[in-house]
Chain A
Amino acid sequence: MNEVKIKRSILARLIPRLTSLTKRGPSGWMIIVGIVIVSALVIMTVIGPYVSPHDPSAILVGPIRAPPSLQFPMGTNHLGQDMLSRVLCGGSIMLQVAAFSVLICFIIGVPIGLFSSYVGGFFDSACSLVIDALYAFPGLVIAIAIAAMLGPGVINMALSIAVVYIPSYFRIVRSQVLSIKELAYVEAARASGSKWYTILFRYIFPNVIPSIVVVVTINFADAILTAAGLTFIGLGVAVNIPDWGWDLTKGRELIASGTWWVITFPGIMIILLALGFTFIGEGLSELLNPKLQR
């Protein structure tokens, strides 16, 4: 009962905020559309196992490589698995990998960024140099190299993606901190003897949060695409859980025989998920940086 109460109060606070977004023009709408898409896909993945018509991993529930029909609206693959069920349940690995990588990035990138830019001096310059070198490097290459060394698995994939995106968090946090650090009220706090961690977390950090949120959403979108890419190369998860990325890889081999449905539907799902996060991110960044507002 208590959980229901908590959920209701969170919703109660969220809904007025969401409706206020509609008044902020096209950017607000973009955010709402993005949230709707992402929520829909997450919900679909969560309830997928309960509502899918067939067991997504069960083989030969239908004829092999059957095109979409009334019985199998998304057709079947080379193992006779129902594609609709696989699509409904296939998002969980992608979402997990993306969520973990964002978490890791956040936990590592943000504190280092905060600390480094606040402290300044040689430490900051050194950190920035290393981070910039990392940032300039092609992300997928790093992810591939790390994933190759670590081997398959959700956490490993998340780690390799996280390493690629930590520089983004670092840079955004750093640029924000550098501009806030010199503001009057921070000086005042320093002058009145506040400890450095108080200043950092009570004064500076709350102002950095909006920019971080934007990076988080874009990170999510990129993480999903990178995870799909890694799976495609063969560095994905080696388990028989339904996964959109895996279907894409397998589906590719079936293309030659004209079997287009195995790859198309999971692919569209991935695109939708990435789009959803991108919309949220773009809408947020437009609201926060109204340079183009007249």
Chain B
Amino acid sequence: MKNLPILEINSLAVDYRTSRGTIRAVEDVSFSIEKGKTLGLAGESGSGKSTLGLSIIRLVPYPGVIAKGHIKIGGTDILKLSENEMRSIRGRKVAYIFQDPMTSLNPVKRIGAHFVELICTHEPTMKKEEAFDRAKEVLKNLGILPERINDYPHQFSGGMRQRIMIGLAIALNPDLVIADEPTTALDVIVQAKILDLLESLRKIYGMALILVSHDLSIILERCDEIIVMYAGHMVEYATNIELHRNPQHPYTQGLLRSIPNIELSDQRLSAIPGSPPNMLNPPKGCRFWLRCPQAEKECSTKEPPLVNIGRNHFIRCFRHGEEDSQ
């Protein structure tokens, strides 16, 4: 029996209404995620993945607005909620981990105070001392010495600060955690530790995890389901196994090809030629056709719809089913 999805998104569209025109950063995105699963959002800068992540908690920055679609968390349509009701969901039911740990904590607040504030906001009946004890416990699970609870953020390294951010995210046992490029700002060794930490916490607490990254290799390693985004569109949505076995979209194929293989010597780095389109004036037809090695006439005039090619593998391309030309 399938679990009820903790998050359901239908035909979501998010716009940025700037003085120079409206940019549709996210278009026609639909997916769902169940408790205990990991979903990876892969895509390059500007693909809309961060905007998508922020829209789940309705924190798209000005001048962004959620233009169309539905977002349901635990069955509740959050787009209909008041700001107060939304606030009780943030941090408690859904947590968000930001990309840069160096700038995500309040520089003038001790880290213990960060936790106490969070806990007391969502559980007003709790006493300060209790909240403090809870904070110390969380920190212990993260591998941070409890004596450091009265230190300021700048007294910690980047890796430790990210652990603190993770701690703040899981402190109230949320149902869903969204991690936006949690390791991009960290060095490689620390990266692996942080991702392992997230994984072990997920197993302990049983929450769903959405991992947003431009690094497809990380996503391939750790996510049950994967969405590949390009220029605001979902171009491929499949399970991990399916994507490994049968990547269909030319963009996905290009990304997979460009992951260097440490075992091969004398390897030439292959990259996808060109750059992402101008979102103020996206090209007609498929947004990827200008860079696509398999593009045909049809691709430049009509926008391909998202189709299910079986085994819950969705793809937005006219050329699906054809073998990789290289």
Chain A interface (Cβ < 8 Å from any Cβ of B)? 25, 294
Contact = CB atoms under 8 A, between A and B. Distances in A.
Contacts of B18: 294
4 contacts: A25-B19, A294-B18, A294-B62, A294-B63
- The 4 A-B pairs at the shortest CB distance, nearest first, are namely A25-B19, A294-B18, A294-B63, A294-B62
Nearest to A26: B19
Interface SS, A side:
loop
A294 B62 CA distance: 9
B210 to A, nearest CB: 26
B227 to A, nearest CB: 27
B106 to A, nearest CB: 22
Contacts of A25: 19
A73 to B, nearest CB: 43
In the complex, which range does the number of interface residues on chain B fall in? under 10
Interface string B66-96: 0000000000000000000000000000000
Nearest to B61: A294
A4 to B, nearest CB: 40
Contacts of A294: 18, 62-63
A25 B63 CA distance: 16
Contacts of B19: 25
B70 to A, nearest CB: 27
Contacts of B63: 294
Nearest to B63: A294
From B18, B19, B62, B63, residue with most partner A Cβ within 10 Å: B19
A294 B18 CA distance: 7
A250 B63 CA distance: 53
A238 to B, nearest CB: 53
Interface string B18-30: 1100000000000
Nearest to B62: A294
Nearest to B16: A294
Contacts of B62: 294
A69 B63 CA distance: 52
A294 B19 CA distance: 9
Nearest to B18: A294
A294 B63 CA distance: 8
Nearest to A25: B19
A25 B19 CA distance: 8
Interface in B260-284: none
A25 to B, nearest CB: 6
A188 to B, nearest CB: 30
A163 B80 CA distance: 62
B64 to A, nearest CB: 10
B122 to A, nearest CB: 32
B19 to A, nearest CB: 6
A25 B18 CA distance: 12
A292 to B, nearest CB: 11
A24 to B, nearest CB: 10
A29 to B, nearest CB: 13
A283 to B, nearest CB: 16
Nearest to B64: A294
A23 to B, nearest CB: 10
A66 B62 CA distance: 56
A101 B241 CA distance: 76
A294 B60 CA distance: 14
B288 to A, nearest CB: 27
B297 to A, nearest CB: 38
